[in-house]
Amino acid sequence: IAEEERPNETSCDYFNGKWVRDRRGPLYNGTTCGIIKEGQNCISHGRPDIGYLYWRWKPTRCNLPRFKPQSFIQLFKHKHLSFVGDSLARNQLESLLCMLATVSTPNLVYSNGEENKFRRWHFDSHNITVSLYWSPFLVKGIEKSSARLNNELFLDLVDEKWARDLNQMDLMVLSIGHWFLLPAVYYEGGSVLGCHYCPGLNHTEIEFYDMLRKALRTTLKSIIERSGVRGSDGKDGIKVIVTTFPPAHFEGEWDKAGACPKTEPFKEEEKELEGMNADIRKVEVEEVEAAKANYNENFGRVLKLEALDVTKLALMRPDGHPGPYMYPFPFANGAKDRVQNDCVHWCLPGPIDTWNEIFLQIINKWNENEPFVS
């Protein structure tokens, strides 16, 4: 193996580093992968600059190996992998499927819900199932809509839309965050705890950070308790990855032509992880660590649970969003004053592919200690 491909597992912190230019480019493109949601298929929507495709993440003390679809697919033989969360969970799942599709075909075997919020694919070649569950709070909730001014969250109850299928899952990737910024009323134990940004209602204003913390705590506790039972049946326990909050990059007004107009990553000294992005990430990382400590104490087995801590590396990529190219050819009829921009999701291919490269390294590391293959 070439020197740059060799990971240094013992010392590698994949989450701190910098983006460096890389002429190899992505493993797939919007033409070859048919799974990309329209709004993220930036090249086919006419995004003119493609420099954002030619960067790789360089952890400070080691190298991140390029994603190997063949290795991933071998590791997940006969397994069920599920992505649960909001549209960023979907974004990450589509990136993974596009990379895997270069070596094996994912067949869509189930699809349900508005905008296909629940989907399932099967790789016949290796008997791998990959599922997507829409659950933007992970706990039970009612989403804000045109008819409803605020979200309603039930912080002590998990969302059974995914939880009822837990016993079929081998590995879960959880990804939430952005929906917690919206106005919400919070319930716990059947009564109102308070609300976030709902001046019309007569409830105590509470910050959403603690509510995100409660939602994650309830979620991880439920997964552990329900799969702990499964572990004692002699079957493998469940493995869980929590993708941390990927920051958005709106500059100025969201409906101006280029609301995230940058075409290159930030340089190291240009951007600090701070404020809300840092605080959301902190809650997520702390809850993952707390769940691990709690589980290891009480169950006497090692829980495979890790934060996929992408916040910093995502923060440095203001150039990776669709911006106005969420819609096809937004400037086809000349410059416009007001266009909608997406500075939250990520173009595919794009920086989000790197999250799955690190995801594979986490699995590799787990697998060294305790083989994951059936």
Applying CB under 6 A, among 7, 22, 29, 271 the residue interacting with ligand NAG is 29
Part in contact with ligand NAG (CB under 6 A); list of ranges 63-71, 73-81, 110-118, 267-275: 73-81
If the CB atoms of residues 79 and 119 are measured against ligand NAG, the closer one turns out to be 79
On whether the CB atoms of residues 59 and 65 are closer than 8 A, the answer is no
Asked if 80 touches ligand NAG (CB under 6 A), the answer is yes
Question: Which region among 77-85, 275-283, 310-318, 362-370 touches ligand NAG (by CB under 6 A)?
Answer: 77-85
Q: How far is the CB of 203 from ligand NAG (least distance, A)?
A: 8
Give the active site residue among 156, 170, 342, 353: 342
Per rule CB under 6 A, is residue 222 in the interface with ligand NAG?
A: no
End-to-end CA distance of the chain: give it in Å, rounded: 27
Concerning whether 165 is annotated as a catalytic residue, the answer is no
Judged by CB under 6 A, the stretch of 74-82, 231-239, 267-275, 299-307 that binds ligand NAG is: 74-82
Closest to ligand NAG by CB, 32 or 298: 32
Cα(142)–Cα(330) distance, rounded to whole angstroms? 33
Tell me whether residue 87 is one of the annotated catalytic residues: yes
Q: Please indicate whether residue 249 is annotated as part of the active site.
A: no
In one-letter notation, the amino acid at residue 171 is: L
DSSP state of 359: H
Residue tagged active-site, from 82, 86, 87, 309 = 87
Contacts of 100 (CB under 8 A, 6+ apart): 69, 72, 73, 106, 123
Tokens standing for residue 232: 């004692």
- How many whole angstroms separate alpha carbon 321 and alpha carbon 326? 9
- Contact between 127 and ligand NAG (CB under 6 A)? yes
- Total site size for ligand NAG, rule CB under 6 A: 13
Residue 78 is a binding residue for ligand NAG (CB under 6 A): yes
- Residue 21 is a binding residue for ligand NAG (CB under 6 A): no
Q: Which of 92, 129, 277, 361 binds ligand NAG (CB under 6 A)?
A: 129
Please, what is the minimum distance in Å from the beta carbon of residue 107 to ligand NAG?
Answer: 14
**Residue 43 binding ligand NAG, by CB under 6 A:** yes
CB of 20 to ligand NAG, least distance (A): 18
- The bridge status of strand 80-85 relative to strand 128-134 is parallel
Q: What is the 3-state secondary structure (H, E, C) of 41-75?
A: CCCCCCCCCCHHHCEEEEECCCCCCCCCHHHHHHH
Provide the minimum distance between the beta carbon of 370 and ligand NAG in the complex, in angstroms, as a whole number: 18
Of 335-374, which residues contact ligand NAG (CB under 6 A)? none
Exposed, middle or buried by CB within 10 Å (0-12, 13-18, 19+), for 98? Answer: buried
The residue among 111 and 125 lying less far from ligand NAG, judged by its C-beta, is: 125
**Are the beta carbons of 184 and 139 closer than 8 angstroms?**
no
Candidates 5, 8, 229, 235; binder of ligand NAG (CB under 6 A) is 8
Looking at 24-32, 103-111, 143-151, 244-252, which segment touches ligand NAG (CB under 6 A)? 24-32
Of the candidates 158, 159, 100, which has an alpha carbon nearest to the alpha carbon of residue 130? Answer: 100
116: exposed, middle or buried (Cβ count in 10 Å: 0-12, 13-18, 19+): middle
The span from the CA of 369 to the CA of 105, in Å, is 30
Tokens of 125: 């070649």
Element (H, E) at 35: none
Question: Of 26-34, 271-279, 317-325, 329-337, which segment contacts ligand NAG by CB under 6 A?
Answer: 26-34
- Rounded (5°) CA angle 108-113-114: 115
Neighbours of 280 (CB within 10 A): 23
Indicate which residues carry an active-site annotation: 87, 342, 345
List contacts with ligand NAG (CB under 6 A). 8, 11, 29, 31-32, 43, 61, 78-80, 127, 129, 202
